Amino acid sequence: MDFDLPEETLAVQRLCRDFAAKEIAPYAADWSERAYFPAEVFRKLGGLGLMGMLVDEAYGGANAGFVSYVAAMEALGAVDQSVASAWNAHSTIASLPLATFGTEDQKQKWLAPLASGQNIGAFGLTEPTAGSDAAAIRTQARRDGDGWVLNGTKMFISNAGTEMSLGVTVLAVTGGGDGGKKRFGTFFVPDGTPGYEKGQPLRKLGWHAMDTRELVFTDCRLTGDHLIGEEGNGLRQFLEVLDAGRISVAALALSLAQAALDLAIRHAGDRHQFGRPLSGFQAVGHKLADMATEIEAARGLVYRAAWLGDRGRPFGKEAAMAKLYASEVANRAASASVQIHGGYGYIRESEISRFYADAKILEIGEGTNEVQRNVIAKAITSTHR
């Protein structure tokens, strides 16, 4: 059993670390304070071939696989969670529906500019009255000749309102099937489409530099070629790409936990009380030991899920486990790190305060941790029937 990462994966990770240190770290705190979306950073990521890591090379991607993607996320997320989370949403749930179910024309028209970094992508599922219960969405798409008319509202949608947004992929109800069961469709709505409006940026607890908004569709007309995949299979299509999104959030959480530990170790070595560094106190040392142990356990779960995905093996249960555990470790690590920092950790000028604010959403996004437990429970009980 070989736990060493392949050299090509390590090369990607080094590239991302160098880029993050130079292009993100010096500015991340300022971006957060100003709630500024750094479009220039994502264009540079595109120039490095990192905006389409999970997309085929034929459409401008790198097809690097999940393990390399997780390694890249570890490097980016350890510096700025806002940039990393926007990159996550773009790379997975915004791009993969087109990559997996799109026609050749759709891929050339919309996927290629996303994968190259010319544009950034968004996905619209959540609504004011539907989140974990994805099947309860109310946004409607009704047939209109050869096209569709979209009506409804999406909430908490990331990357849709930036200067480099291409459009949004939207899940909508397309009708009723046998027994009144809903049918769903997935549609790409380009920026500038009449009837598609964006609300003001939402003021969030964390992820301040990530663009997040409400989207409203009012008699928004789309031609038939904006339907992605088969009508009626939209929800199934979304759930199929969601496992990749869960691995991505798990990797994001892993990066935050490691950053929290690194900051705690540094502060514990620099800060002196009672004539010795904080790291010399057993109570602090035990906190650091617990953080380090949990992070290594989370890393194993995350990379195993990614490894399974790269080999084309089922990884839904493992992705849910990785997302569940890593996100909770991230919250524990951020809290412990703030405790070790003491008063310095509670002021907004401290780096750990930004990670602490960013941590909570990791237990909510891409399926709440309650939903992850449902997924895991269903998977483990179904194998024993």
Catalytic residue positions? 366
| 359/27 Cα distance (integer angstroms) | 20
Task: Map tokens 């949608």 to a residue.
Answer: 157
Q: Residue 200: exposed, middle, or buried by beta-carbon count in 10 A (0-12, 13-18, 19+)?
A: exposed
Distance CA 103, CA 115 (A): 16
> Cα-atom radius of gyration of the chain, to the nearest Å?
21
Asked if 332 contacts 260 with a C-beta cutoff of 8 angstroms, the reply is: no
| Residue among 254, 256, 253, 156 at smallest CA distance from 211 | 156
With contact defined as beta carbons under 8 Å apart, do 51 and 59 qualify? no
Residues 6+ apart with CB under 8 A from 385: none
Helix 351-359 vs helix 81-89: angle between axes, to the nearest 10 degrees?
A: 40
- Residue 347's CB: how many other CB atoms inside 10 A? 10
Residues in the chain: 385
With CA atoms as reference, report the closest residue to 340 among 295, 273, 256, 294.
Answer: 273
Q: Pairing state of beta strands 196-198 and 212-222? A: antiparallel
